[in-house]
Amino acid sequence: MRVLKAGDGETVERTGAPIFEGTVHGRALSEGLTDQVSASLVHFSPGAKTRPHRHPHDQLLYIVSGIGKVGANDEEHTVTAGDFVVIPAGESHWHGAADTGSPMTHMTILLPGGGETIVEQ
């Protein structure tokens, strides 16, 4: 058993990465602990979000704090702390604080390997 304490790890700014619009910070949770799953916390400042993208595996999002939005195709949902989102493999989607006026933090869980995130233009 391995335990990652709340004060362990480093939160890094991810602003400017091709997938993000706005100010975003992330903290890897599973790195070095397991190769079976990839988990991280992602904090979106008000107005920040991902660009439309897709993953080769299902993506799970657990909203930790704030108010955010998730969208795919012609649907859009407002999400708040405690909400859980399942995004099927290959589905074009986006998520973040969007236009809520609030920051939002979510935990994202993906299977590692098997392809990379594809950011759509």
Instruction: Give pTM, 2 decimals.
Output: 0.91
**How far apart (Å, rounded) are the C-alpha atoms in residues 115 and 120?**
15
| Total domains in the fold of the chain | 1
pLDDT at 79: 98
pLDDT averaged per 10 residues, the chain (length 121): 87 94 95 87 97 94 98 95 96 95 96 74 69
In a domain, 28, yes or no: yes
Domain span holding position 110: 13-119
Other CB atoms within 10 A of residue 97 CB: 25
pLDDT at 115: 58
In a domain, 92, yes or no: yes
In a domain, 5, yes or no: no
pLDDT at 119: 86
CATH number of the domain that residue 84 is part of: 2.60.120.10
Residues 24/18, Cβ–Cβ less than 8 Å: no
Residues 107/29, Cβ–Cβ less than 8 Å: yes
**How far apart (Å, rounded) are the C-alpha atoms in residues 119 and 83?**
24
Q: Which amino acid is at 50?
A: T
Query: What would you measure as the largest C-alpha separation in the chain, in angstroms?
Result: 43
In a domain, 3, yes or no: no
pLDDT at 41: 96
**How far apart (Å, rounded) are the C-alpha atoms in residues 38 and 46?**
25
